[in-house]
Chain A
Amino acid sequence: METRLERKKMIGGRMSNESFITLFMIGVLVVLFGVSCAIVPRFYLPQNMINLLTNNWYIIMLGIGVTFLLITGNFDMSVGGVIAMTGVLSVWFCQDATASQNALAVGLGLPYGVAIALALLCAMGIGAINAFFIARLKVPSIIITLGTMMIARGVAQIVAQGAQRNTSLPDVFGVLGGLTIPGMSIKLSVLVMAILVVAAFVFEKKTVAGRRTYLIGANSVAARLSGVNVRRHLTSLFIISSLLAGITGILLSSEFKAGGSSRAMGYEFDALVISLLGGVSIAGGFGSVLGMFVGAVILSVVTSAATGLLLSPDWQFTIKGVVTFIAILAQRFALDKRKG
């Protein structure tokens, strides 16, 4: 332990820019939270704090994949579409095959486990398409993932015929999304999110693959020349990102006991916003999952404070946009000052 501390001192004892930005955003969060408590009635109640941390669980789950991809310098805009697709597909696979006349009530009648596995496989398929075009053909990620976003949502719309599927489902379908941790009002989904965030944090800080992600983002040519299989790494990241979106889609559809083709509209943007708020830089090689989590809490503090101040929900888009720009510029300003 002691030697470790000493070594840290010898290196210089200075925080990395990454920790600096994360701390900076935590500071911003504390200030925002303080201000909100002061001006919004009943903001400080413990239940509200729990809500702030947990209400956005689906965005945070998406944020994990999106953050890692942003660190490598790539976008993933397909996650919202993948949520809708896996949701609708898992319902369709599960629905009774002989139920009724209504086309939207007739499914494939597969057991729930198989249905989930197949839906997740389809989600990973979208990730594989992304990876093929981006890692192999070197097409800009923003274009391809916008295309696969439409394809994934298109599958959802075709299967749900532009509406939603919610009838003749087995009882087991609603179990996953409805489970809560005994004795607390926290959903299973939130626990899954927490476990995944911790896992992602460990992956990022403690594994070779995690560190390679940063190397690829900082300089992908140098990464390749120093023996990193950039293509394979990007491929796994894209598939993981789609898989996380798929898991989110399964949990959401189970919670609502329905698969809607317009579910998760715009979630890809929210996931991007929380990553940016957490200090992830698209220029590559910079950012952290912890920062992303802080960004998510900042966003929920801001939006819930705005709702508490009786702004109509229509303000959400505008608030998100302004907050993101302020955050990007503030982070850059803080980094410049630090160097200065």
Chain B
Amino acid sequence: MNSANEYTLRTQLERSNAVRSNIKKLYIYVVLVLIVAVFSVVKLGQVEFFGRGHFLSPDSIINLLRSAVPILTLSGAFTLLMISGYIDLSVGSAMSLSAVVFSWLILNGVSFLPAFLVTLVMGISLGFLNGLLVMKLRITPVIATLVTLNLFKGIALLIVPHGLSAIKGSATKLMPAWINDYARLDVLLGLPWAFYVAILVIVVLVIVQRKTILGKYAAAVGGNRTSAELSGINAVKLVWLLYIIVGFFAALAGMARASYMSLGDPLSGDGMELDCIIAVLLGGTAFSGGEGSVAKTIVGALIIVCLTTGLMTVIPAFWQTMAKGSVLIAAVVLNHLLVREKVKA
């Protein structure tokens, strides 16, 4: 092959790579805007733009953001773990268990701050257990966390008294009204404390991922664990710490859910692991780890929340499972096309 030919070939390749990386950078925002646009238009026939009941009405946006709090709180830490090449399928159950423990404590007369701290400590220990099983006892992450998924769910079901579906106030024992204060009370712009905590969490985690050693090391371990260890990173401790962080934020998310619903539902976190995985995959994090972005996961999380909320107004509830499954598969395919191909090129 002569050099001119080779040159054009290479420029073509570079150009297609550039196009692809631009698509990769931008597609997630386009998807978000498209989804919002579609749901706005679907409802447009009935009510005026930004009016009451419209997808883009202030009420509905505030509602949407409030219901987005758990996934916003959790998916950032989940991304860090996925960047390091590991996975935690137990986050949903950890959330449920935290919600149950938190509302059980409050129902039994513990005040907010102690209950909050105890639940956080419990979340940390759940993450610690996952880390122990995966990193120290070397059980495959998927299996270990799938079993703890059922373990945590089982414990949550055990705490709920027999015959009840959730921890909630009864005639003899009232749930204090202030359980709502954290995730429902209007603090600023109609949004509650939990939302601003979630924003703070996101900001911190974006900085952690981009600017700190923890973020760099996580990517290094995800890229190639052996070479990361050879260059002096203690992968066991690092990933263990990430599991603990995920457990911590799962507890935080669970409390937001419990405070929002003012009850502790042992099934309230079901499926959160799938939502997190979809958000992470939409955000372009490679499934095998090594690269990814917390900020984009958050956009992915917003996409899921918009879809779930939007679909609820358009299609019957029993279509939801199908819709979410299809979105998961679509996210995998998108991720595969955009992330994998780049590595190959």
Contacts and interface: CB of A to CB of B under 8 A. Distances in A.
Contact of B328 (A147, A158, A162, A329): A147
Given A133-B332, A282-B142, A150 B322 contact: yes
A284 B147 CA distance: 19
Contacts of A282: 140, 142-143
B325 A149 contact: yes
B124 to A, nearest CB: 19
B332 A147 contact: yes
Interface in A105-156: 133, 137, 139-140, 142-144, 146-151, 153-155
Interface stretch (A45-53, A221-229, A318-326): A318-326
B317 A158 contact: no
A147 B322 CA distance: 9
Contacts of A329: 137, 139
A276 B133 CA distance: 15
Q: Name the residue among A148, A261, A273, A328 with the largest chain B CB count within 10 angstroms.
A: A328
B154 to A, nearest CB: 3
Interface residues of A, number: 44
A67 B30 CA distance: 42
Contacts of B157: 314, 317
A62 to B, nearest CB: 15
A140 B336 CA distance: 10
Interface string B130-162: 000100010110111011101101110110001
Interface residues of B, number: 40
Contacts of A143: 277, 281, 287, 328, 332
What is the predominant secondary structure among interface residues of chain B facing chain A? helix
Nearest to A156: B321
Nearest to A70: B143
A339 to B, nearest CB: 16
A314 B154 contact: yes
B319 interface: yes
Given A143-B332, A325-B133, A328-B139, A317 B150 contact: yes
Given A139-B336, A144-B332, A261 B325 contact: no
B150 A320 contact: yes
A152 B61 CA distance: 32
Nearest to B89: A142
A325 B133 CA distance: 9
B55 to A, nearest CB: 23
Given A75-B142, A154-B319, A328-B139, A317 B151 contact: yes
B318 interface: yes
A142 B142 contact: yes
Interface in B89-145: 89, 133, 137, 139-140, 142-144
A154 B323 contact: yes
Contacts of A148: 325, 329
B322 A157 contact: yes
B332 A151 contact: no
A151 B319 CA distance: 10
B32 interface: no
Contacts of B317: 162
Interface in B289-323: 316-323
A324 B322 contact: no
A78 B320 CA distance: 17
A24 to B, nearest CB: 18
A100 interface: no
Nearest to B318: A162
B28 interface: no
Given A158-B318, A272-B146, A147 B325 contact: yes
15 contacts: A139-B336, A147-B326, A147-B328, A150-B325, A157-B318, A157-B321, A158-B318, A269-B150, A282-B142, A314-B158, A317-B155, A318-B155, A320-B154, A321-B154, A329-B139
Given A137-B336, A146-B274, 6 more contacts: A133-B332, A139-B336, A151-B322, A154-B325, A314-B154, A322-B151
Interface of A: 75, 133, 137, 139-140, 142-144, 146-151, 153-155, 157-158, 160-162, 261, 266, 269, 272-273, 276, 282-283, 312, 314-322, 324-325, 328-329
